[in-house]
């Protein structure tokens, strides 16, 4: 029933949000290598935050017009 109400951009945004939360918190399945506190994960978090800020800045004028 929800697939008739939600369009594909909404589903894509939901997937991106879940992925971002998993990336920031460092959630991993059992048996995988621990990378939550490595330098690479720190850079990935920085890039993720930078992209969020860029997209929020680009979207802000459209939201207020």
Contact 21, 45 (CB under 8 A): no
* Distance from C-alpha of 56 to C-alpha of 43, rounded to nearest angstrom: 20
Distance of alpha carbon 10 from alpha carbon 29, whole angstroms: 26
- Tens digits of per-residue pLDDT, 19-57? 888 877 777 778 877 776 788 878 888 888 888 888 878
Residue 65 in this model has a pLDDT that exceeds 80: no
Each residue of 48-59: pLDDT tens digit?
888 888 887 877
Domains identified in the chain, total number: 1
Q: Rounded distance, CA 34 to CA 29, Å?
A: 10
């Amino acid at each position: 029933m929800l697939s008739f109400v939600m369009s594909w951009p909404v589903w894509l945004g939901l997937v991106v949000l879940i992925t971002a939360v998993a990336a920031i918190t460092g959630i991993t399945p059992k048996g995988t290598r621990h990378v939550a506190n490595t330098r690479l994960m720190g850079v990935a978090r920085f890039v993720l935050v930078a992209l969020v800020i860029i997209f929020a800045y680009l979207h802000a004028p459209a939201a207020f017009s």
